[in-house]
Structure 1
Amino acid sequence: MDSGNIAWLMIATALVLFMTPGVAFFYGGLVKAKSVVSMMMMSFGALGLVAVLWVLIGASMSVVESPFAFAGNPFGDFALQNTIADDPTGEATIGIAFGATFAIITTALISGSIADRARFWPWMLFAGIWATLVYFPVAAWVWGDGWISMLGEWLFPGSGLEVIDYAGGTAVHINAGAAALALAIVLGRRVGFQKGINKPHNVPLVMLGASILWFGWFGFNGGLVPNALGSDDNTAMGLIIVNTLVCPAAGVLGWIIIEKLKDGKSTSVGAASGAVSGLVAITPSCADINPIWAIVLGLVAGAVCALAIELKWKLGYDDSLDVIGVHLVGGMIGTLWLGFFANDTGLFMGGGIGQFVIQLIAAVGVMVYAFVVALVLGFAIQKIVGFRLADEEEIAGVDATVHGEEGYEMQVR
């Protein structure tokens, strides 16, 4: 990799890292005013903890020598001692930093499902253990030569098929969404849980967060394109950038159309959520579908996710900020979409049913594993140290109760 491409990878790493503060702003604006500090701290806490864990053991765990291995040896390159010694160009080390940003934001995404009612340090305990037991191994399964990367060869020998998850439909969004569902079950419903329980306290903050996420997503999807700069053939990079632009744009349209039809009004929060839904859906497929199918994907994801967020009222789980409806559902749509529209291998693009089959197995496998581990871990933390706030603490406000701070200090002059 030449200096220009190394520079691009450094920029992409910074872009993706910036997405976690984007999540903090997005989630922070959606909660009530007396929970905004708590909500943002959960993202920043995950940033601090998971970054350290990734450098210590996570990078080592995310690559396996055999597809039958659960994860890599956590102490095989503890604190990157071997990588630093054998990386004169810095390329491998920067790549590890890039990988850290994915681990961070995946963990931070989960926190939206337990807004307004979770204690901070039990969340930190969950985040550290979940990242170690779930995200690091799943990253190995998907991108580190693990079992998911071998599904095509095992089930359809000689076909050349492989699971497509370019930037994290399974490893990031399905993974986080399934864990979010588990924690929503563990912590139970907020006091007064009902439709319209609370409105976003700061809509401009929501829009700012969504904008930062969209901005950073160009690094998220485009960071690891081989020879992104200075090549005679930059088709892959161009396709990724266009799809990362147009799919969330269509997601905005899909969501606000459903809002208009369902509620009579289209909201700015809906537009922001539609953009995020489109971004989630395009993540696994950004390099492998044509823009026309990216547009249709965005419309479908925006519309379906707008409907999916209503499921919590019918099924009774309290997913505070719709992590399940946006990330689990959107991640599933984007991952399975490839089974039909992936260039050359999708069912409607000259291929057979094989691509859909392996996409489905990968998606369900990650979803079940992430859900079960998060459920067991969440219940254990709740029983041992207490994960959820008492009702009176929740009513008083998480910020004051847990952090001794207020998001907005009002002074009368």
Structure 2
Amino acid sequence: MDSGNIAWAVTASALVLFMTPGVAFFYGGLVKAKSVVSMMMMSFGAMGLISVLWVLYGFNMSAVGSAWEFSGNPFADFGLASLASGESANADLLGVIFGATFAIITVALISGAIADRAKFGAWMIFAGIWATLVYFPVAAWVWGGGWILSLGDTLGLPGVIDYAGGTAVHINAGAAALALALVLGKRVGFQKGMDKPHNVPLTLLGASILWFGWFGFNAGAEFLAEGMPGVGLIAVNTLVATAAAILAWMVVEKIKDGKPTSVGAASGAVAGLVAITPACANLTPGWATVLGVVAGAVCAIAVELKFKWGFDDSLDVVGIHLVGGLIGTLYLGFFATGTGLFVGGDAGQLAVQAIAAVGVLLYSFIVAFVVGFAIEKTIGFRVKNEDELAGIDTIVHGEEGYKLESV
């Protein structure tokens, strides 16, 4: 591996790691002022816990020797002592840190569904168990030689396309978020418009950091290819799909509510980023633009479904990440260059995309629901109603996000 690829690997890993504080800012601005510390701490807690678990055994679990293994052996190289002393240690360890950043942000994304009402200790227990039982194995299925990566060969169809994590990250996190929202139940007084974002600039800052970091998220894996031949296309698609989704979300808001909002623009950006994630290396820029429009418009409508269907996904993880991830993953079945149904291929690409998406969705939802339910019925996952109403920062962390004193 030449020095340019090495430099890009380190840079991309840093960009993706920076995305998790971006999630913290994005989510933190959306909750009420007395819950901002709790909200941001769930992201920072994930950074600490998942980094350690990934190095100890998660990376070992993220690759398999045959298509139908559940995961790699977590104890095969516990703590990566052998990997770190091998002949290819430099390149291998770059893969470790890049993979760790994906595991971290996937877990952090889930937390938005349970904002304002979750115990921090219970969240950390859930995060560790879910990462171990779901994210680490699913990473092996999608990228590490598992059944999703091998599905095309198994069925005699095109291979599943998920370049940067539509299934492994966004559908995975979105399904788990839905499960936890159902386990913890609705916030006190849940209804449309019950809480306004307490700090809109903080949310816009978070969205901006996410867009910045997403160039590493989508294009980072190019460090594995000599000359990084796909990096230009990936970067352009990451730009244009996101931009198109912002516009589409604002148009829907204007039609639906009469005014486009800054929070809507930020949410549209994230929806576009989510949708382009699996597709960034396999669409022409024109089709990436269309994908952004579709994702922005559909997700803007999907975030309203929680009020119609009665589940309290506090910060729209389901409407943006699950729905956006499904859109981006299935869209490839129609427009993936050379294999999509409308661009030279047949229905085979769509079939394998759908099987992969549904498989990850169901597995993540079921495990997250069981684990979350077990935690709720033992040590308790949700804070008391009176603590929720008062704001949980001082109750859970003994801190306040803002200390205003008269002079």
Which range, TM-score by smaller chain? over 0.9
Q: In structure 2, what is the equivalent of residue 121 of structure 1?
A: 121
Contact 2:167 2:360 in 1 (8 A): yes
What is the alpha-carbon distance in structure 1 between the residues aligned to residue 41 and residue 121 of structure 2? Answer: 11
Q: Deviations over 1:306-325 (max 9, x none)?
A: 00000000000000000000
Q: Distance in 1 between matches of 2:278 and 2:19?
A: 17
Give the TM-score of the pair, scaled to structure 2.
0.99
Q: Does 1:368 align with 2:362?
A: yes
Aligned residue-pair number: 407
Alpha-carbon distance in 2 for matches of 1:372, 1:319 = 17
Match among 303, 307, 314 for residue 313 of structure 1: 307
Q: Residues 237 and 228 of structure 1: is their aligned pair in 2 closer, same or farther, counting only changes over 3 Å?
A: farther
- Preserved CA contact (<8 Å) 1:228 1:237: no
Relative to structure 1, the CA distance from residue 382 to residue 227 in structure 2 (aligned partners, 3 Å threshold; closer, same or farther) is closer
1:84-99 to structure 2, matched below 5 A, reads: 84-88=84-88, 90-99=90-99
Output the CA distance in 2 between the equivalents of 1:84 and 1:391. Answer: 49
1:355 is paired with a residue whose SS is helix
Query: In the alignment, which residue of structure 1 is the partner of 2:199?
Result: 202
Q: Which residue is 1:218 aligned to?
A: 215
1:251 aligns with 2:245: yes
- Alpha-carbon shift at residue 66 of structure 1 (Å): 1.1
Q: In the alignment, what sits opposite 1:192?
A: 189
Distance in 2 (CA, whole Å) between partners of 1:223 and 1:59 is 17
SS of residue paired to 2:189:
coil
Equivalent position SS for 1:98: helix
Who is 2:233 aligned against? 239
Identity of aligned residues (%): 69
Q: Determine the structure 1 residue equivalent to 2:290.
A: 296
Residue 150 of structure 1 and its aligned partner are, at CA, apart by 1.1
Deviation of 1:76 (Å): 0.7
The separation in 2 between residues aligned to 1:126 and 1:340, in whole angstroms, is 36
Q: For residue 163 of structure 2, what is the aligned residue in structure 1?
A: 166
For residues 268 and 350 of structure 1, the distance between their equivalents in structure 2, rounded to whole angstroms, comes to 39
Q: How does 1:8-407 map to 2 (within 5 A)?
A: 8-88=8-88, 90-156=90-156, 159=157, 161-226=158-223, 231=227, 235-407=229-401
Unaligned runs of 5+ in 1: none
Which AA in structure 1 matches 2:263? V
Rounded to whole Å, the distance in 1 between the matches of 2:81 and 2:63 is 16
One-letter code aligned to 1:180: A
SS at match of 1:327: helix
**Deviation string, structure 1 residues 285-327 (Cα, Å, up to 9, x no partner):** 0000000000000000000000000000000000000000000
- Alpha-carbon displacement from aligned partner over 1:308-361 (angstroms, at most 9, x marks no partner): 000000000000000000000000000000000000000011001000000000
Q: Distance in 1 between matches of 2:320 and 2:387?
A: 29
Q: Deviations over 1:6-53 (max 9, x none)?
A: 111000000000000000000000000000000000000001000000
Preserved CA contact (<8 Å) 1:247 1:282: yes
Q: Residues 203-242 of structure 1, C-alpha deviation per residue, up to 9 Å, x if partnerless?
A: 000000000000000000011115668x3xx541110000
The AA in structure 1 aligned to 2:342 is: F
Q: What SS does structure 2 have at the residue aligned with 1:224?
A: helix
C-alpha distance in 1 between matches for 2:302 and 2:319: 5
Q: Distance in 2 between matches of 1:133 and 1:87?
A: 31
Match for 2:155: what amino acid? L
Tell me the distance in 1 between the aligned counterparts of 2:216 and 2:225. Answer: 12
Match of 2:7 in 1: 7
Is 2:8–2:223's contact at 8 Å kept on the other side of the alignment? Answer: no
Task: Output the amino acid matched with 1:6.
Answer: I
Separation in 2 of the partners of 1:87 and 1:371?
40
What CA deviation, in whole Å up to 9, does each residue of 1:134-185 have, x standing for no partner? Answer: 00000000000000011111112xx5x1100000000000000000000000
Task: Give the letter aligned to residue 199 of structure 1.
Answer: K
The amino acid that maps onto 2:167 is T
Q: Following the alignment from structure 1 to structure 2, what is the Cα–Cα distance between the partners of residues 179 and 146?
A: 21
TM-score by length of 1: 0.97
Q: CA deviation at 1:94?
A: 1.1
Aligned to 1:90, the other structure's residue is in SS state helix
CA RMSD in angstroms comes to: 1.0
User: Per the alignment, in what secondary structure is the counterpart of residue 351 of structure 2?
Assistant: helix
Distance 2:306 2:224 in 1: 44
SS class of match (1:66): coil
Contact 1:175 1:370 in 2 (8 A): yes
Q: Tell me, in whole angstroms, the C-alpha distance in 2 between the residues paired with 1:254 and 1:90.
A: 43
Mark the runs of 5 or more structure 2 residues left unpaired by the alignment.
Answer: none
